[in-house]
Amino acid sequence: MYGFAGPYGKSKRVGSKSAKNLIHHLILLEEEQDLRIERGLLLSGARRIAVETLGSLQCFASRISWTQTALESLSAQCPVILSRWDGRQRKWKTFSIAARARHINPTAIWELCRLPQRQATQHASDLIYAKVCNQQTLLRSLDPTLPATPNLQENSFSRILRLESNYARFFWARYFSAAQTDLFAREKRKATHPLNVALNYGYGFLYHALEWQCLASGLDPSVGIIHRLRRNRPNLVCDLIEQFRCCVELTVIRSMDRMGDKKAMAAAFASMLEEKWHYRDQRFRLRSILRLVVESFVNSLSKRKRHQPFLLHARDACL
């Protein structure tokens, strides 16, 4: 059997399964390859290599045709790393395929990693703006005198993180006041106050549900837009969850009398995922909306359609 790309793109003889004949790191350099798996062999034209002899695989070619079976089999056997050249920063960028993925969409992953700065900023702006609008809708259910849309300065979306942090201070002060608590700040980690504990618990429900929707759509949850790459963190999930945080915040407000009961709150958050909410002028279960939003995000990567984030309807915000 022959491997079709060694460290310098040369073929390498592979014999038995002994350790000395293993390919510790297979590198793919040639463009326009058609890769597939048949009977435990990775094939490209007349070249082939046993999948079980691979220790790891890294692809530097951007125009390779992968079959779904090939990606699933390779990611289950060894680490699979896809690399691309960033001409703006003049360096290679890499990402790995999640080993637990049951479906892999290489086109969507490549498009996500190749997003131009302007398009990435637009995606980030849409997600942050949806979060801010949803929280404003929630606050209006508590105080109808507030304006329908948040008061944001023109062109402020070029400073996305500053916008989010400024509005967060405005939102949490009024949210805690409506909850009639003595809180003055959010505790994201190691929360002690029951309200913060309940919020973190609810966000956890959304994180897991949204992460599996990303995996089901063939995305790698570790590749995000707003949140920087960090090991063992689903950065893409951290981006997409922003628009859904209002659902947890509403559920907590509605369940203030049982906030200290973990079993009761778990039941409330489970019911939240099965409740129907407005999306695209229709009503769907929140679990279905998570799937539709992720699918919309995938379609927007190829510029076929504009991403349609989840926007909280005034009727759904009623306490």
3-state helix, strand, coil in the chain (%, to 5): 45, 15, 40
The CATH number of the domain holding residue 273 is 1.20.120.920
Least confident of 143-147, 236-240, 242-246, 294-298: 143-147
* 192 and 134 in a common domain: yes
Residue 53 carries which side chain, given as an amino acid letter? T
Q: Is residue 140 part of a domain?
A: yes
Residues 186 and 250 reside in one and the same domain:
yes
Residue 283, domain member (yes or no): yes
pLDDT grade, residue 231 (50/70/90)? low
pLDDT computed for residue 279 by the predictor: 95
Does 297 share its domain with 164?
yes
Q: Is residue 306 part of a domain?
A: no
81 closest CA partner among 97, 64, 92: 97
Q: Is the pLDDT of residue 120 over 70?
A: yes
Same domain, 155 and 295: yes
For 241, the domain range is 117-301
**Highest mean predicted confidence (pLDDT) among 70-84, 109-123, 247-261, 273-287:** 273-287
Percentage of residues in the chain with pLDDT exceeding 90?
A: 20
Strands 47-50 and 41-44: antiparallel
Q: Which pLDDT does position 161 carry in this prediction?
A: 67
Out of 6-15, 52-61, 131-140, pick the least confident: 6-15
Is 105 part of a structural domain of the chain?
Answer: no
Question: Which of 94-98, 104-108, 252-256, 304-308 ranks highest by mean pLDDT?
Answer: 252-256
User: What is residue 117's predicted lDDT score, i.e. its pLDDT?
Assistant: 77
- Asked if residue 23 lies in contact with residue 53, where contact means CB atoms within 8 angstroms, the answer is yes
Tokens of 235: 């950065």
Q: Mark whether 262 and 193 lie in a shared domain.
A: yes
| 225 & 169 share domain | yes
**How far is it, in rounded angstroms, from Cα 244 to Cα 277?**
11
Q: Sorting pLDDT into bands at 50, 70 and 90, what band is 21?
A: low
User: Of 62, 97, 132, which residue sits at a domain end?
Assistant: 97
Residue 14: pLDDT band with limits 50, 70, 90? very low
Looking at the structure, do residues 195 and 81 belong to the same domain, yes or no? no
pLDDT value at position 154?
47
Regarding whether 131 and 44 lie in a shared domain, the answer is no
The mean pLDDT of 29-55, rounded to a whole number, is 83
Please say if the pLDDT value at position 288 is more than 90: yes
* Mean pLDDT for the chain overall: 79
- Answer yes or no: is 12 within a domain: yes
108 part of a folded domain: no
Which among 223, 232, 3 has a CA at the least distance from the CA of 120? 223
CATH number of the domain residue 81 falls in: 3.100.10.20
Whether residues 84 and 136 share a domain: the answer is: no
Q: What are phi and psi of 127, to 5 degrees?
A: -70, -45
Q: How many folded domains does the chain comprise? A: 2
Q: Which amino acid is at 211?
A: E
Does residue 319 lie in a domain region? no
Could you tell me if 209 and 243 lie in one domain? yes
For helices 262-274 and 245-254, angle between their N-to-C axes, nearest 10 degrees: 130
Q: Is residue 266 part of a domain?
A: yes
pLDDT of residue 248 exceeding 90, the answer is: yes
Q: Give the three-state DSSP class for 70.
A: helix
Per-residue pLDDT of 131-157, as tens digits, reads 999 999 999 998 888 887 776 654 444
Q: What residues contact 104, with CB distance under 8 A and at least 6 apart?
A: 68, 71, 72, 75, 97, 218
Residues 139 and 274 in one domain: yes
Residue that wins the pLDDT comparison between 268 and 188: 268
Reply yes or no on whether the pLDDT at 17 is more than 50. no
Across the range 204-215, mean pLDDT stands at 87
Q: What is the pLDDT of residue 19?
A: 43
**Encoding tokens for residue 176?**
């805690």
Same domain, 157 and 285: yes
